[in-house]
């Protein structure tokens, strides 16, 4: 298997592509960090707490 040589456009746009790539990686890192903070700052929660949780309802009524 052989690789075709890159078109000169790839070389010319290397800086732009690397810049966009790093920006996207940084954006993903910020999103990840934000998600961790948002999910953990209200104390322990269950992964599927958008559904009815009978044991929590029971605790609340006691």
Partner 1 sequence: MTDVNTYPETASQPGEAGFGDYVALLKPRVMSLVVFTALVGILVAPVGVNPMVGLASILFIALGAGASGALNMWWDADIDAVMRRTAKRPVPAGKVAGGEALGLGLALSGIAVVMLGLAANVLAAGLLAFTIFFYAVVYSMWLKRLTPQNIVIGGAAGAFPPMIGWAVATGGVSVESLLMFAIIFMWTPPHFWALALFMKEDYHTAGVPMLTVTHGRPATRTHILVYTILLVPVALAAAFTGIGGPTYLAISAVLNAGFLWGAWRIWQRDEAQAEADGYRTEKQVFRFSLYYLFLHFGALLLEASLKGFGIGGW
Which residue, 18 or 56, has its beta carbon nearer to partner 1? 18
18 binds partner 1 (CB under 8 A): yes
7 binds partner 1 (CB under 8 A): yes
Residue 52 backbone zone (phi > 0: left; psi -120 to 50: alpha; other: beta): beta
The binder of partner 1 chosen from 2, 3, 9, 11 (CB under 8 A): 9
Residue 26 backbone zone (phi > 0: left; psi -120 to 50: alpha; other: beta): alpha
Question: Which chain residues interact with partner 1 by CB under 8 A?
Answer: 7-9, 12-13, 15-16, 18-20, 30, 33-34, 36-37, 41
């Amino acid at each position: 298997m052989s690789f075709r040589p890159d078109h000169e456009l790839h070389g010319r746009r290397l800086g732009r592509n690397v810049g966009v790539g790093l920006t996207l990686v940084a954006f993903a890192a910020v999103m990840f960090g934000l998600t961790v903070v948002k999910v953990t700052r209200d104390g322990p929660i269950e992964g599927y707490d958008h559904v009815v949780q009978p044991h929590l309802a029971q605790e609340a009524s006691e």
